Homo-oligomer: A and B are copies of this chain.
Amino acid sequence: MSAAGCVGVATPRSFESKEPFRFVSGEELPGLAIAYETYGELSAAKDNAILICHALSGSQHAAGLAPGQEGQEVKQRDKGWWDLLIGPGKAIDTSRFFVVCSNNIGGCHGSTGPKTVNPATGRPYGSGFPEVRVEDWVEAQLLLAAHLGIARFHAVVGGSIGGMQALSWAIRHPAMVARAAIIAGTPKLTTQNIAFNEIARQSIKSDPAFSQGDYYGQEQGPRSGLAIARMLGHVTYLSGGDLERRFSRRRREDGDTFEIESYLRYNGDKFADYFDANTYLIMTEALDEFNPAAEAGGDLAAALRPAAARFLVASFRKDWRFPPQRSRELVKALLQADKRVSYAELGADGGHDAFLQDDPAYHEVVRSFLGAAEE
């Protein structure tokens, strides 16, 4: 194994599609901007591309440093969100692969989203942004693939909602996906999942500063509602054991506040600094609605039949948001549909967020699934 390295400073890129974009909902936008980053080199044959799909709070900045961080001491958590997995010699090896990650549309990191100015009104889309489905993300990424001259991905890879995108890619564009890795994913949300998402949404929508989604001209948006939503997400992405080990019942120096309390407040606040509340609503609604089996009368195996990819499904034992049971349902349906599938149930203790974390067994599973570029 080569020594694992960092991709260095990532160059922010953007692609502008001037074609009207039609959403699953039937709504249309006159065009799309797609913010993205790439790491590694596209081979002459253009056969070594890996598409990375991001999850709820992610962005196109999946690996390396952001401009401005060069020459600084940068903590791991301040690097790209999947930097632990993406880089030269890492599980997703940029010395072999050309790795692409784009900001989902409806996002808030440069792709067309609710804070984008609507050319028809001169004001941000806000509440008027179309409803977004996972399939819309896939179709926007398809435009980017065409722009980059990629006719077929060596792999489409994602965790959580990113895994939903990888699954959707494999179903919708079988000829373009050689491998699909669905990590900490689920073929559809449970009632409990939807319930947590709804509480997060209510928390945003009931913040008076939300102004029905049209808050961009205000001094401040629904910061506190968004912070609560994030705190709730955060707690449910961690396992109980993980929280116990990291915080237990320890107090802050004031002797009064529990450390977990100040940790949650700090993280909620930080999130509200950089994330957009409308994007949070859009993402959670897309999550709730994802259900590829629905198009096949509820038969997931039938929905998967068109796929031609080799599949990796990986789950984490302590993930109670999308637990192994959900991944096993997917594996079962893939086998029923006669697909080639590897399944890994990983022991990492980090809850749902384990898909973002450092775990040698997990990284090795991803590395070996991706194989060599020429395979």
Residues of chain A touching chain B, judged by Cβ–Cβ distance below 8 Å, are 188-192, 194-196, 198-199, 202-203, 206-208, 224-225, 227-228, 231-232, 235, 238, 240, 243-244, 246-249, 258, 260-261, 264-265, 268, 288, 291, 320
Contacts and interface: CB of A to CB of B under 8 A. Distances in A.
A280 to B, nearest CB: 15
26 contacts: A190-B244, A191-B244, A191-B247, A191-B249, A191-B258, A192-B243, A192-B244, A194-B249, A194-B258, A195-B231, A195-B235, A195-B260, A196-B235, A199-B228, A199-B231, A199-B264, A202-B227, A202-B228, A202-B265, A202-B268, A203-B203, A203-B228, A206-B224, A232-B232, A249-B291, A258-B288
Nearest to A195: B235
A326 to B, nearest CB: 11
Contacts of A196: 235
Chain copies in complex: 2
Contacts of A243: 190-192, 195
Given A191-B244, A192-B238, 6 more contacts: A190-B244, A191-B248, A199-B231, A199-B264, A206-B228, A249-B291
Contacts of A192: 235, 238, 240, 243-244
A99 to B, nearest CB: 34
| Of listed A196, A247, A249, residue having the most chain B CB within 10 A | A249
In the A-B complex, the 7 residue pairs with the smallest Cβ-Cβ separation, listed nearest first, are A206-B224, A191-B243, A192-B240, A198-B261, A195-B235, A191-B247, A199-B231
